[in-house]
Amino acid sequence: MFEDFTLAEFPQSRADLTRFPGRPSGIIYVMCLVHDGQEVPFYVGQTRRLSERMDDYCAKQFAACTDFRVGEAICYFRDVRRFEIAVRYKPSPQPRKDEYTTIRDLQTSGVRLLNDLVSYSYKDADKDRERTAVKRFCDVLVQSSGISPPAPAAAR
């Protein structure tokens, strides 16, 4: 499904994310956890500024619920569950349409995505509860993907 997407490790260098000639009108991307060469998508997004978008996930600002949830998932998968994280991306003349199509294709093939997790209002939400919800989602995703995860960091 991702044969026309470019692959980069996360976190990436800005040079890794600027391989397009000209300036595309938009970019669609898929965040994946990686284990033994198997990629498991966990979030699909679209943007006009890919490297800055990845920086948003590193910042994990609670007031920006997508940034927080994706950033927390990345940290949990990488730092606790010990998976590698990759981003697949490609230019898109219709990024919103392509994002929708990619999400729908993954959903209908049985893939669980963080996109499906109900959002929160940062003014009313509890940060620790939201972090716990993301971790629980991540654990369910790993279990449903059928991969054998590495031992959690605490067990090492």
| pLDDT single digits (tens) 28-75 | 999 999 998 899 999 999 999 898 999 999 999 999 999 999 999 999
Phi, psi angle pair for 147, to nearest 5°: -90, 155
Residue closest to 20 by CA, chosen among 62, 53, 51, 64: 51
Q: Record the tokens describing residue 74, joined without a space.
A: 């990345």
pLDDT greater than 60 at residue 15:
no
Q: What is the pLDDT of residue 155?
A: 47
Asked whether residue 59 is assigned to any structural domain, the reply reads yes
Mean pLDDT within 96-124: 95
pLDDT tops 50 at residue 156 = no
Structural domains in the chain (count):
1
Q: Is residue 1 part of a domain?
A: no
Looking at the domain assignment, is residue 130 inside a domain? yes
Whether residue 103 has pLDDT greater than 90: yes
Distances (CA, A) of 50 to 26, 68, 71, 81, 140: 9, 17, 15, 25, 28
pLDDT over 70 at 117, yes or no: yes
In a domain, 156, yes or no: no
> Whole-angstrom distance between the N-terminal and C-terminal Cα of the chain?
35
